[in-house]
Structure 1
Amino acid sequence: MADELDLEFQSVFEESEDAIKERVLARPELEKYRKEPGDFVYDVVVAGALDTQQQGTNMDATLRHAFPVYAEDIYLDMNVAGTNMEPRFEATIAQGKLQVTARAGVTIQQGQELITTAVDADGNPIIGIVTEEVIYTAEGTQDILVDTQGEGASMNVEAGSAWTFLPTLSGIISIDQAEDFEGGRDRESDESLLQRWKNAAQLPRRSGNKLDYDAWAQEVIGVGTVKPIPLWDGDGTVKLIIADIEGRPATAEMINAVQTYIDPYQDGMGDGKAPVGAIVTVESSVDKLIDAAAKVVLMPGATMQQVIDSFKVDFDTYLSGVADLALSSSETQYVIYKKVEALLGANELIADYSNFTLNGGTTNIAVQGNEIPVRGMVNFT
């Protein structure tokens, strides 16, 4: 469907400084006066032309911000505030668990800070804050709940990152991170917010069609892709597969929030957004790890790490496209072996390669409708 709301703004009030100057100097009232540069009339008109131009620019900006398709930042927020849409999603912290081994007698207080080697979007080390006090009555390992101090997607610290208490605590033996931190989200962009507004304005809504379920789920903060599966368990049943706005599996909190918003009791009584008779089940997408391995010959001057890093960027881009198709189509999608192999052939840092495999094989890998293909291990030798 063509996007009928992708319109280019046409200036209404703005004029160039020269056009304003020429128009004013040509007025009949000024015919009897000298109007050469340096004359009083000329100098007065030139001085006012710049202010008049600025006024036109300001009036155009006011007009542009009155319409969502042209508005930006806070002005787009103001337009959305007049609808039944959820407002712009703000940035959020990430949360996670650390496995801390300590000696008997150690107390890790609520509010204790940690620092990790992972960095945020600005290149600064990420700070974590302990959310619950933990006391070690005997030497051992306990899970420590941690919130990040900052907000944004960069706060989702990957498993295996190194952490240190700040300041250092006596009696700590080791700190491990077995799982990724989750929940960190960037502030919603103008592009994303505008797209939600366009969907609400353009797409047909008929009290319970697929588009309704898609829109209802995305009204919950943090939800990105939604895949409705009708009649998945008989008449009146609907399953929603959801992912967050970064395309990652939804957290338990997000799943519960969507379930509560759309069909809290799953009894068909219509207590949420879902119509009477519909029983809705909300589930998260799941990651499907795709490992890549090959023997490569490097170009002169290239390093193996450079090759791996550049391949990861290309591989992630390809997998993101497959993920979008898997979550939007009713058909099984595939990670195509030949297409991923072509990324190696196009890599300017690689002179030659052999023994390329995906998940240990040389065939296409099926991606089901609830799966998101993500990069696993990249083993180049």
Structure 2
Amino acid sequence: MFENFTFDFLMQRMLQRVQSFDSAIDTSEGSVIYNSLAACAWELAENYIDMDTILNMAFADTAPRDELIRIVQEYGLEPKPATKAILKGEFNIDIPLMSRFSLGALSYISIEKISTGTYKMECEIAGAEANTNLGPLTSIEFIEGLETASLTELLIPGLDEEGTEAFRERFRNYMKNPSQDGNLTQYEQWANEYPGVGRSKIFPLWNGGNTVKVAITNTDYLPAGSTLISEFQEYIDPGIEGKGNGAAPIGSKVTVTGGTQKNISVSGNVILAEGYTSTEGVYEAIKEYLASITFLKNSVSYMRLGSTILDCPSIADTNNLVINGGVVDIVLNGDEIPVLTSLNLVVTG
């Protein structure tokens, strides 16, 4: 809005104003009038820069993080905080709760017994770093009889603090689609804001009147695990009773599922780009594409997937591309979640 109010623009306008009063006044560079106005124009230009910055801070679509948080707090929303990962720990004996272990640079604490020798282990540091940290544990405290200890499975992913642009986009969606009175948008909000949930899909009246099914993914947009499903079920409608003991209103019987995995296999021939010796980055790119459409699109696009492969720097060309044995879009029904289970690309050049 104020980007045109530069030093040169202001200086020219002020000099013209002086000359409009008396054209005989010396306004050349170095004159008393010029030097006096130059100092003023410089300060004014700085003020206009500050005004432009302040103006951007006042609107959610341009505000920096701190100001964005203050704006959005007026609507009752805040960035999702970082959460701690919970993993499955397996031991040769039962261990005391609150026992501490380490793996690499991270430490874990036993918070709940699952079964004999199996516990929920919570990372002591919030964030996503622990999500892939599996392997043998080292006991920080002496536990008599302990011989083996390891983290074997991620139960609930840890999350980093919500990023600025993700928070901004969530606020935009909140304003465009108000959630209230148990409408579909509110069910989506309950699910998508729950720690560990990546995305959700709501199925009203899925099993008759007053029933709702909520299918959820984890933060990698893969089918949610049993622990996350049970914890979110307890949060939204304990026991699927519709008694209003959770977030859902009275009379609404909510069933939480982790979605149904739809296996996606991809094969074909590729020609590598110059300087590459492998199909580097293709697997990750396809996974990212599938994650981007989970619960948002009703099919895996044959053309879009092919384009995803061609967009990889390591690939110069592709042919004979086949998805699930065919050359057509793969339909996603209901709560199906596309998961890449097989990738076989033959390098032909």
For the superposition of Structure 1 and Structure 2, which TM-score range results when normalised by the shorter chain? Answer: 0.7 to 0.9
- Describe the SS at the equivalent of 2:110: coil
Q: Is the 8 A contact 2:266 2:342 kept in 1?
A: yes
CA-CA distance at 1:81 after TM superposition:
0.7
Q: Is the 8 A contact 2:87 2:152 kept in 1?
A: no
Once superposed, what is the RMSD of the aligned Cα atoms? 4.5
2:285 aligns with: 314
1:124 aligns with: none
CA-CA distance at 1:145 after TM superposition:
5.2
Kindly provide the CA deviation profile for residues 320-365 of structure 1, in whole angstroms up to 9, marking residues without a partner as x: 3442xxx246xxx4446686567668876578877x7666x55875
2:128 aligns with: 153
Alignment of 1:141-180 (within 5 A): 143=118, 146-148=121-123, 150-157=125-132, 165=138, 177-180=151-154
The question of 1:93 aligning with 2:84 is answered yes
Equivalent position amino acid for 2:191 in 1: A
CA-CA distance at 1:229 after TM superposition:
0.7
CA distance in 1, matches of 2:220, 2:311: 27
The question of 1:373 aligning with 2:338 is answered yes
Q: Is the 8 A contact 1:157 1:181 kept in 2?
A: no
Give the direction of change, closer, same or farther, for the CA distance of 1:73–1:378 in structure 2 (3 Å limit).
same
Alignment of 1:68-147 (within 5 A): 68-84=60-76, 86-99=77-90, 110-115=99-104, 127-132=105-110, 143=118, 146-147=121-122
- Describe the SS at the equivalent of 2:203: strand
The question of 1:19 aligning with 2:9 is answered yes
Q: % of aligned pairs identical?
A: 26
- Describe the SS at the equivalent of 2:132: coil
- Describe the SS at the equivalent of 1:22: helix
Kindly provide the CA deviation profile for residues 116-142 of structure 1, in whole angstroms up to 9, marking residues without a partner as x: xxxxxxxxxxx2213139xxxxxxx95
Kindly provide the CA deviation profile for residues 227-262 of structure 1, in whole angstroms up to 9, marking residues without a partner as x: 111111111111111224542344566545654554
1:281 aligns with: 255
Q: Is the 8 A contact 2:232 2:256 kept in 1?
A: yes
CA distance in 2, matches of 1:314, 1:152: 23
CA distance in 2, matches of 1:12, 1:58: 9
TM-score by structure 1 length? 0.68
Matched length = 338
Q: Is the 8 A contact 1:17 1:49 kept in 2?
A: yes
Q: Is the 8 A contact 1:266 1:279 kept in 2?
A: yes
- Describe the SS at the equivalent of 2:264: strand
Alignment of 1:34-45 (within 5 A): 34-45=26-37
The question of 1:241 aligning with 2:241 is answered no
1:217 alignment partner, one of 191, 197, 206: 191
CA distance in 1, matches of 2:148, 2:266: 32
Give the direction of change, closer, same or farther, for the CA distance of 1:220–1:97 in structure 2 (3 Å limit).
closer
Give the direction of change, closer, same or farther, for the CA distance of 1:19–1:342 in structure 2 (3 Å limit).
closer
Give the direction of change, closer, same or farther, for the CA distance of 1:50–1:369 in structure 2 (3 Å limit).
farther
CA-CA distance at 1:312 after TM superposition:
0.6
1:138 aligns with: none
Q: Is the 8 A contact 1:344 1:350 kept in 2?
A: no
Q: Is the 8 A contact 2:138 2:149 kept in 1?
A: no
Alignment of 1:179-198 (within 5 A): 179-180=153-154, 182-198=156-172
CA distance in 2, matches of 1:257, 1:268: 16
Q: Is the 8 A contact 1:12 1:60 kept in 2?
A: yes
CA-CA distance at 1:164 after TM superposition:
6.8
Equivalent position amino acid for 1:316 in 2: K
Kindly provide the CA deviation profile for residues 68-93 of structure 1, in whole angstroms up to 9, marking residues without a partner as x: 23322011110111113x31112233
Alignment of 1:334-345 (within 5 A): 334-335=299-300
Identify unmatched segments of 5+ residues in structure 2: none
